[in-house]
Amino acid sequence: MSQLIQLSRHSYVYRGFTIHKCPRNSATMRTAYNVLSDGNYFGRDFALAEAMKTVDQIRDGSSQ
C-alpha cells in the first residue's frame, strides 16, 4: 500500500508520481488533477482518487 504525501496546497506525491491540483474551471466548477513523472505528462483526472487510480494502472501495467 502506497501513501499519498501532500507537498503543498496544490501538489501531491504518490508512488513516485507528482499529482498537481489545477485551478478550478470557472465554467464547469470542476477541479482537475494532472499526473506527471520525470517531466512526462500522463493525463488529467477530475478527482484525486481517479488520479491515484491512474498512477496505480501505470505502475501495475494494466490498460484499463
User: Which residues in the chain land under pLDDT 70?
Assistant: 1, 63-64
pTM of the predicted structure, to 2 decimals: 0.88
Contact predicate 13/19, CB 8 Å: yes
Residue with cell 490498460: 63
Domain ranges for the chain: 4-62
What confidence tens digit (pLDDT) does each residue in 32-49 have?
999 999 999 999 999 999
First to last CA, the chain: 20
How many other C-beta atoms lie within 10 A of the C-beta of residue 52?
Answer: 20
